[in-house]
Structures are given as C-alpha cells and as structure tokens.
C-alpha cells in the first residue's frame, strides 16, 4: 500500500482479548444525537470481541419498536495528534444504518462542540450502500459550524473488509480507502484570529453504529441484527 511518506507504527489495537480493554476504551450509554433512534448500551448483545474482531451489533426489540447499539471512545486513554491512523473494518448492510469511525478534540467536554473540532475518518449510511464519506467540522469567528467533506464510491463495499485511513500533519488531513486517496483538507482553512487551530490539538477516537436520524433516515426493520466489524486500529508517526 502506498502512502505519501514513510511511517513507523507506534500503537495498535487488534482486539486479541476476549473482552474490551478498559485501559483503552470507554463505553458510552444513553440515546444518540442527530435524532437517531438507538439506545447505546454495555450489553454483550451490542458489543463484544470474537475471533479477534470487535463486533458492534444493532438490534431491534422483539416486543417494541426500539433499537439498541453500542458506542465506544478513547477519551483520556489514547489520544492522537498527527501521523497516520488506519482502521480495517467491515460495514453493516441495510437502510437506516449509520456506522462511523471518527474523532473529537480532547477538549470536547470543557470547550464543547463545535469548538473542539471533529474529524470523520469514515461515515457510511445504508441507503447509499456504495458510498464512503470523509469529513471535518470546525467553528469560525462568528461561532458558525463549517463542514468540508468528500466521498468515494466503492462497488464491493458490502462484500468484505476495507482499510479506512487518514494522514494528518500541521498542514493537511488526507483521506484514503484501501490506499486510494479521495479527499484532502487544508487545515489553514480552520484558522481563527488569536485562537489555536482546532486541528493542531490532540483528538480521541470514537466508534459507533447509529440508526436512523437526520442523515441515515428510515430504518428497514428486516436488516437486524446489523453488525459493524473492526479488525484492527493502527497509529503511525512519521519516521
């Protein structure tokens, strides 16, 4: 796989244990935002490790029109600033699914959103089964939220694992899938007078599988259980 410069592996998570490593991960609970319909839980039916894979499963209650799923993050445990991050994952199939691999600034809890900044390494909605999206979100002087994004079409997206990656330095964030570049963001666009650029600060990682909401839309109840597989996460620094 060709990238723009040489990197050295400095950290990895390959899910070799039988349970989630609490020294790396926090499990979030409660309802999602963006008008999503799932409840995030700690239940093994929603979150487990099996055969070296993290499996996030969204399910529908048998008795009511209610949904549950899982969301985990690395806040205060594993942070990232510059370098290359790559995640090998297999996405769920079906309308209404919204899996994401993304990051927020580590000052999220103190500064709030969007002042912490957001880097979306991979987002996918089941109603567009062949599209992968990469994006950044950040504030500007008048406290308005600005977004910059692009997408790539992958014909065999649902058929197996793919590697989603970013390369990030002081100047830019570049997005790849399976080594193919499809989006580049110039970090200077997020400059603000007398404030440090949000993309020149540490971020933490989030993995979740949402349902419905203001982007994924109507949920097809025939798709459950819907499963999001993560094979590995690797973090590299320039040599």
Catalytic residue flag (residue 118) = yes
> Taking phi first (over 0 means left), then psi (-120 to 50 degrees means alpha), and beta for anything else, what does residue 95 get?
beta
Report residue 204 as tokens. 């933490």
Q: Which of these is catalytic: 118, 167, 189, 218?
A: 118
Is 66 one of the catalytic residues? Answer: no
Q: Is the pTM here over 0.75, yes or no?
A: yes
| pLDDT tens for each residue of 96-126 | 999 999 999 999 999 999 999 999 999 999 9
Write the pLDDT tens digit of every residue in 11-66: 999 999 999 999 999 999 999 889 999 999 999 999 999 999 999 999 998 777 79
Among 45, 93, 36, CA closest to 70: 45
pLDDT band at 1 (very low <50, low <70, confident <90, very high): very low
Q: 7-238 maps to which CATH number?
A: 2.60.120.200
Catalytic residue selected from 50, 123, 143, 144: 123
Give the confidence band of 193 by pLDDT, cuts at 50, 70, 90. Answer: confident
- Where are the domains positioned within the chain? 7-238
């Amino acid at each position: 796989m060709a990238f723009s410069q040489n990197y050295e592996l400095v950290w990895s998570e390959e899910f070799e244990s039988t349970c989630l490593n609490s020294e790396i991960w926090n499990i979030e609970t409660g309802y999602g935002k963006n008008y999503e319909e799932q409840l995030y839980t700690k239940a093994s039916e929603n979150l487990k490790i099996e055969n070296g894979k993290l499996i996030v499963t969204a399910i529908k209650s048998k008795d009511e029109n209610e949904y549950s799923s899982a969301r985990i993050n690395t806040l205060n445990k594993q942070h990232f600033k510059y370098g290359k991050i790559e995640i090998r994952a297999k996405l769920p199939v079906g309308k209404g699914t919204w899996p994401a691999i993304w990051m927020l600034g580590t000052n999220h809890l103190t500064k709030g959103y969007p002042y912490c900044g957001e880097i979306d390494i991979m987002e996918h909605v089941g109603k567009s089964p062949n599209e992968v999206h990469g994006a950044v979100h950040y504030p500007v002087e008048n406290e308005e939220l600005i977004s910059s994004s692009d997408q790539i079409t992958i014909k065999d997206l649902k058929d197996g694992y793919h590697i989603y990656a970013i390369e990030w330095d002081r100047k830019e964030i570049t997005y790849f899938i399976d080594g193919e570049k499809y989006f580049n963001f110039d970090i200077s666009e997020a400059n603000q007078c007398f404030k440090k650029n949000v993309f020149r600060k540490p971020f933490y990682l989030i993995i979740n599988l949402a349902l419905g909401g203001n982007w994924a839309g109507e949920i097809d109840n025939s798709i459950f259980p819907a499963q999001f597989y993560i094979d590995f996460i690797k973090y590299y620094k320039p040599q």
